Amino acid sequence: MKMKVNGQSVEVFSGARVSDVLLKFSKEEFKLVQNSKKSVFDQYGHELDLEGELSEGAELIVGEKYKSGPCR
């Protein structure tokens, strides 16, 4: 499956979860999300769980959580 994380293309196996994509994108960012220093959002601004399922073409944003949604 192909998707984007912070505007960068990432290719992962079918059935990948948010954690799989994040680990492929950046182990450092994964650790920050795992330690609640950052969050993962979809292209609509909804916060995603690390175990959340994804579909082809998903766009993820890793950033800090603010009242109005994600902020890089």
Predicted pLDDT of residue 65: 73
- pTM for the model stands at 0.84
Assess contact for 22 and 40: CB atoms under 8 A: yes
* Euclidean distance between CA atoms 41 and 64, whole angstroms: 10
CATH number of 2-71: 3.10.20
Q: What is the pLDDT of residues 4-60, one digit of tens each?
A: 999 999 999 999 999 999 999 999 999 999 999 999 999 999 999 999 999 999 999
